[in-house]
Each structure stands twice: as structure tokens, then as C-alpha cells.
Structure 1
Amino acid sequence: MTTDPVALTADLIRCPSVTPAEGGALVLLEGLLSAAGFTCTRVDRNGTSNLFARWGNRGANRSFGFNGHTDVVPVGDESAWTVPPFGAVEKDGMLWGRGATDMKSGVAAFAAAAADFVTETPPDGAVILAITGDEEGDATDGTVALLDWMKENGEAMTDCLVGEPTCPEIMGDMMKIGRRGSMSAWFDVTGVQGHAAYPHRAKNPLPALARLMDRLASHELDKGTDHFDASTLAVVTMDTGNTATNVIPAACRGAVNIRFTDAHTGASLTDWLQSEADRVAEEFGVKVAMRVKVSGESFLTPPGPLSAMVAKAVKAETGVTPEMSTSGGTSDARFVKDHCPVVEFGLVGKTMHAVDERVPVEDIRALKAVYTRILRDYFA
């Protein structure tokens, strides 16, 4: 009897696993995988729930891994939904609910594919599933915790596929072979408060902040590289909290977010940001304090056997040849890439994080078929 990925997705949607709540999703998967012969281990850290599942011997010559997450973002205004967000309603050829696209369907598809594959055609090697409940949050105790635990316990994936939504328009049109880096920087600019009628007695931090934000936003970081579109910098906030029009404020704050190519590192961009902040501070006679968070460095899995195998499977099952892309935001592949070669392939992501999130049921079945073919070809 084969595992129905649509029914499994529906069961997962019914688990209210808004980060960091586990919601029963990992318990459900552990039961399914244990019944198929997987050795399952809960790798929980700092209140975050994670699941490691392996079929086959530890230390096998070949071990194919899947990575994904069962946590979801909040539903927002529930009254705006036309269906219960955790109801897993199936209508109009769609399965509706929070996490339907991002990414309970992806987890269901690879769990169903893996469970059926090892049962029907036991491979010469190991199949590993690393599933986290902390991808939509800070991601400090999710896939990172799983990889830390694997290293400590002698567990390893030879290659890995992350099942995030990757297709922009139609099923099969894009896979990811890398991701841009992501970082944010906050600038606190401090001057001297004063009366707006006597600006010479104050040091207004606002013109300094405006000049800094303009310089950063106007600077061309690069024109793109062989596998990456050009880096981008977005000014995301400028504020003072000042409600009085006759007061020059003492301080203000601005922030930027940068998505960067392999022409940069978080460290090199931090140095550039600091130099610009120092320049403005000297020019305006104010103090500028900077804080930076690098969420992930850019990375690339160069086109090769792994990406070719995945592309071949996608073409065979969908009739579409996927573009090999590095576009979009970040994913947990940024952590997996330090462990083994990694690519990403999943559903069309148009409704992820949206009200009335939904996915065509036939796409879920097609995704399981792609993952099954990948396993079959990998161990052939």
C-alpha cells in the first residue's frame, strides 16, 4: 500500500505548528517513518523540536538526505481566510491551509516517497530525513541543531535535497543550486537635542542618517556574477520616535537589508558599511553606532551530477526542464551546504505565507513522483 502524499499533507496542515510550536507534526511523521523501518530520533534544543530519521546503516557509502520544515508562519487575520487555516480543506482541485505550500506538502512528498521507496525497493545505502520546526523563526536551533547532532553522532548525508518551494510559475520550472547571502545592519545616530528654531545650538542626527542611507542605497555593489543576479541593498526603516515639530531629536535609527552575491562576504560588506558610517559621523559631527546580523553567506553548488540528476527527474515527471537558479530569499540550504552538496526543488510558491495559502493536489502527487525518481536514480 502506497503512502498518499495529499492525505499526509492534509494531516500535517491540521497540526497547528506555528513557530516554535511542534503542533503534533513531527510526532505524526515519526510514526509514519518508524513504521517504514526508519530509526527516528528527536533532536530538540532550547524548546525547538526537530526530527532525524535514517533508514539503512550508519556510515553507509551512499546516503541521500532530504531536509525540510514543519513549522509555519502565523495565520494573520483569521477572518480574512475563506477556509479554516488549519482545516486542510480540499476544494477546486486545491488543498488549502497554512503550510500547504511552505512547506508541509514538500515534507509530506519526500516522507511518502522515502517510506515507500525503502519498503518496496530497499536501496544499497541510507536514506536520511532531517526535519525541523525552526525554519520560519530565528533558525538557530533547527537544521543547525540537527547538523550539530549528526556530527556528534557520526551521522552524515552524502548529498541532500531541500524541499522548499522553488518554482515561480509552473511545477518544474525552477530549482535552486545556491542562494544569495543575507544580512541586516542597524545604525543608531546620536547628536544633540535642541529647539527647531535654533538649529545651530543642536546637532541634528537626521540629516546624517539621511545622507548615510542615500549613500548606501545609491551604491552599486556589483553587476551580478556567473550564477547570481546583482546584489541588492534596501533601506527598510528610518525613524526617530519624535512627534514634536519644534524639537530637533537627539537620536534616530535606520536599517538596511542586503542580499549579496558570491562577490562579497558578510565580513567584507560589514567593513564597507562601517567605513560609510564613519565617514558620515565625521562629516556631520555625530556618533554612529552600527550593529550587523549576517543571516547567511552566499553559496553555490556548481552544476554537476547532483543538479543534473534532479533536473532529469523533474523533466521526466513534469515535462518541464527546470532553470538552475540562485534567486529568492534564504533557506536552510545555507546550513546544509557546509555538510554536503545541496540543491533545492519543490512546489510553486505563489501563495506561501499568504491568506488562503493553497496548493494544487496534483502538484503534491507530482512532487512525490519527482522525489521517488530521484531516490531510484541515486541508488541505481
Structure 2
Amino acid sequence: MDVEKVFHMSGGVGKTSYAQNSSLQKVASDMVKHITMETIRQLYDEITPRSLGLADLGCSSGPNSLSLIKDIVEAVEGSSHEMFGPLPEFRVFLNDLPTNDFNSVFKSLPDFYRDLKKDRNERCPAIFIAGYPGSFYGRLFPNNCLHFVYSSYSLHWLSKVPPGLDDGHGKSINKGNVYISELSPPSVPQAYRNQFRDDFSLFLKSRSEELVANGRMVLITLGRIDQEHVDRGNSFFWEILSRCLAISVSQGEIEEEKVDCYDVHFYAASRNEIEDEVRREGSFGLERLEMFEIEKQVKDGETYGTAVAMTVRAIQESMLCDHFGDGIKLDALFSNYAKMVDQEMAKQEINPITFLLVLRKL
């Protein structure tokens, strides 16, 4: 499966779209917004560029895409006012894979500019926004054109499903599991770990060439607490998806062989793995690494299981449909998923963790 051609968040603004089901990600980014804004202010105070280059990598679509830009503009405005200097122009590059619903982002731009003017007596800062489709595992921008890079809930997605998850004859060695599980042989977590190292190293190297000296990155990514790959956190949500797919098999909707060869291109890295790779690659200094859990906020009348199920569906639907075809019944699949999450939460908390990284180009 070619991830770059298939993988994307569900577009549009419908009930199952990412735009309607990305509130958990927004809660997380808001929880650490003070760190993001502190970083951008420090950067601006040090460099004071006349033209500030910003990139949001893995911007997706929906309201989260542009809310960050508004926050950054306001933070820089505050710093420039304190320094009695002119406000810089903002060059904003929104990046995601080519299949991303960029159109919905662009359609929201008139409202975005209108809101900015409303708070500023009909005057708007000079903001130039462009879409940059492509994988961030490799070069995207010209040399030294960026001052600040932001990426929220994107770097746990690998560039591809790791090689080495079959026996060399097309048979899966991770049967019945879409990710690392307690039943996975040792070669499975090793394959995922190797792919993470290759991808993250390439990401860091590529960004180091695109950022100016002392440029900053703020990265928010899912992870795990310790060296154990299987925990009651992010890996457990994939365990639940594996169980739900098994139900679909038992009901004759999809083939067991199809499930056996469905593996997600995801990796929840540990703190040590992240620190080691930053140190080994050598282009950045790790100024901050925070671990936190998302506050479990849900809409009125909605369970936590439903909120998680709808979020996972908005993220995985493109991959599931491409792999399983029309036979898979997504409504039933994610109804089961929601029920299982709620049942498990009644037994014991599920605590997926998130890391926030602040890096400075050396």
C-alpha cells in the first residue's frame, strides 16, 4: 500500500469528517499552547525577521488548521509591540500529503482574514498562506526559508508500513494484529523501531536544511511511557481495532487473510528513543520534552468511547476502505469500537500519552 497516495484524514465537514472529529487533538494543542507561544516569542525576540517563515506539517483540514496561525500572529504582535518595532509579514506553509482536503482549508480563508480584521479595525497583518502537498519525510522547502516549524499529531505516522512483517513468502508474522501486541514476535517491534529511526532521522535532517540558524520546532506526537511497547495507552486503542476487525471476520463481512495483512504505519516512540535519535542525528538541540495526557473532554450526550471511535474513524477510514474494499461496514465496526472502549474504561483507565518537543537548530 502506498501510504502517500492513500492516507488522509476524512475530508469535508460531515458527521464522520476529521473537521468534526478532531476535538481531542485541539484539547491537546491547547493544553500546551503556552509553550508553543513562548517558543515563537523567544524566536522572534532573538531574530526579529522582517519576513517570518512558518510551516505547519501535517496540517490536515478543519478548524485546527488555521487556529494556530491566528495564535502565532497574536503572539508576534505582542512581542513586536513591546519592542516598538514593525510587525513582520508572515509566510505560512500548510503541508500534508497530496490526498489531504486542502480545498476545505482554502475555503475557510476568507473567514479567517475577516476575523483578523475584525479585531484590528479592519486592518490585517500581511499573511501569505500556501499549501505544500508532500511527505515531510524528505525535503519540502528551499534552504533557510523557515524560522518556525510546527507539527501536531503527525509524527507518529510513519512513512510506510515497516518492511519485515511477513515471512518472506507473503504470510504475515503478526496475524490478527494491526500493530504491536503481546502476541507479536520480537521482530515486529524491532521492525517498527527501525522504521521510526529512519523516518525521524530523515525528518530532522530535512528540517535542518530548511530552517535558519537558531530556528525552532514544536512537535506534538503520541508516544509511550517506557520501553514496553504494549501498554494501556496508545497501543491499546490498536488492540481494540484488531478485536473489532475480528468481529467483522466472524460475521463474514471481511476475510481473515485481509486482516492478517493489515498493519498500521504508526509508532508510539518512548522518551529515550526520541532523545537518542535527536542526539544521534545532531542537527538540533532538544530544549524541552514534556509528557502529558489529554483531558478526557467529550461533547454533551457523547461517551468517551464514541469520541475516540469517531476520531479513529476519521483518521483510519481512507486506509480501511482502500485495503478491505466495499465489504467493510464502517458504521458497525466503529459502533463496536465505541462500546469496547467504554467497557474497558469501566474496568480500568486507558491513558494514551503525548510528548511535546521543543527543538532549536544548532
Per residue, is there more helix in 1 or in 2? 2
What is the TM-score with the length of structure 2 in the denominator? 0.29
Per residue, is there more strand in 1 or in 2? 1
